[in-house]
Structure 1
């Protein structure tokens, strides 16, 4: 609309209706018809404060403008009715444009209506940040601004992640008393692998025909969780007679993609050559008495798992274990059986032979007989310790010592003195033979 500025009052009323939740603008163009430049003040008079109390804001822009002769400018009247606005009957406002020489007035009749008596006054969340397996409660408040009870309405709760709908629930409201409000709540539960990030909440109010009334948006966040086990999620070992097959499973129990990581297995060093890797390992190293195998695992998505498999050949292991066991048994038995030690000393041309017998076993040695073969080039002169009995068998001579019993850890020292019949350069005596009976009456022999 063009308003030509003349030094008179121009008042032709204009009727404007605005609805709650709307913003309406009315534009006017003014032209300076004077012969010189003029500065104009622009203002709006009327019940502006009353409308503001009803949640309706009215203003004009600009407030002042300077125009050259025949120059024009645009003036805009803004009417913003919030969705909380109450209905207001027609009221008269006056738009005034004036300078020192000119003045024009425009009458505006403004009213406010509501399409619906209700709106969503607020939407709140019990939590604005949650972890997987946690929930947040969405509470919407519906306000009735009329002095009468309302019918039923439909409230729709929607949640979106990256534009994709992940949650939707509807609720039919109860009747709402005059000038009162009700609250409606829905709960969103984040699943174990709920995608991390920002979720948009949209609460929409409709009538029972599906016509749009109002909506409110808000947001919440699902926190990122990377949850990998310290060692493994599951480990399975399948044994057969000759091998053992091992499966190691690791699962990302978080809700976001993990970083790359390693699975590590430690085995005794002697098994190093017995391992067959069905899943090729990334690296191998020896540390202490162990061989360490490491598999590099690429990032895992939420809920994704990986399995590595390898096999240990047991027949080599069985052989190694048997050899180790036999060695242990040998040294164990050797450490707990009778022991005989023989030593020779040469003194003043004489040869002294010492025989020491110790019972290292845990049982009594009975009827012990010690037999020593005498070399032909030696002449026996005397005994050392226990007396012996000398016997001949063919061309061989024997010295025999007899002991009734020898208790555990008990020992006896015996021997003989001899003189050489010929010059002896080196002397190697035959082994001493010991026979005895154990506590079970079994005959044993020791050499």
Structure 2
């Protein structure tokens, strides 16, 4: 009998337990993710979900929402009227330790409890680093003439980062701005390029971004290329001197990249012989009578290269002047120091004969002359009139000779005579040179002749 009663009690317990387990819950709930991403970094932006709880009880009840993990859930409890439902936003923020253990997709186990029932559920969220959430898009390159640059900042995930202060710094541009990074959104930031961009060398430059999100600063660095710009400015000036000229050639690299420049100057072989340079040539090319002088150098941005090419004819002029002076000296040295000039003029006679008066001018421009003799000849058809200013030492039919012991320096002699002919010649009469011989200061015998004279008879 006792055994039978025990079996009945056990059966009753099983039935009661079954009835309890299949009893309907005293509430229902629904959830939908709003923002299901949290940052791995220490930023207090929770995941959020839209919750709706329906209270099936005939009395007001309190619903507690909690977890046994190091996760903050807000709100932790909700008051719902009898036979009513309430929709609210539930915020879930894992602790740093939970984030570290739960990178990527994470399932958080939590509980909902009211006065009658307890329900276990999970919320799924993603734990991601900011590098997977925020992306920055820069243009591949900028030009030195660009005035602005556009930068696109994106929030790639389902998380509301809210108002973010971003600071951008680079040699090419810089600036700061507050932007709003809503879930899966992008913001375009336009910055003016730096005033110094025209002085910068082409190449790759870093661009640093600092995002201030709450109290946390997230930094990232990107690269951008400053495009190559090539321009060489050439100036050439000439300065003329008394016996030459200087050509100054300057090449300046006003681009933003190193550039090899070349300066060429053409000269004739003669000019090149008297040309000097401020800098040694890189190369010299000769083509026939033309000499090409070449200078080459690689210029950095903003660097200049100047070459002075000076052609100076002073040396050849001095040499030529020396030669002329020497030749002149030789000529003067060889030139007789005794001056002899002969002059003839027609004169009238009473008997209307053809008569000529001859004047011989002698001047000693050198040192003392000794044993001076002046000899003059007359045409054979002419006769000598026997009256003289200075009596000749020798008188022959067609020859007159004057002898002087010496002539002092700068002493002058004036000799004259008259000759006549009863027959007037036709046309003209050519009178020979008068010759003066003497011994100079070096005891050398010298002979100096006068000019010939042509007399028209008509």
* Bigger helix share: 2
Q: Same fold (TM over 0.5)?
A: no
Larger Rg: 2
Shorter-chain TM-score category? 0.3 to 0.5
TM-score, with structure 1 as normaliser: 0.39
TM-score, with structure 2 as normaliser: 0.38
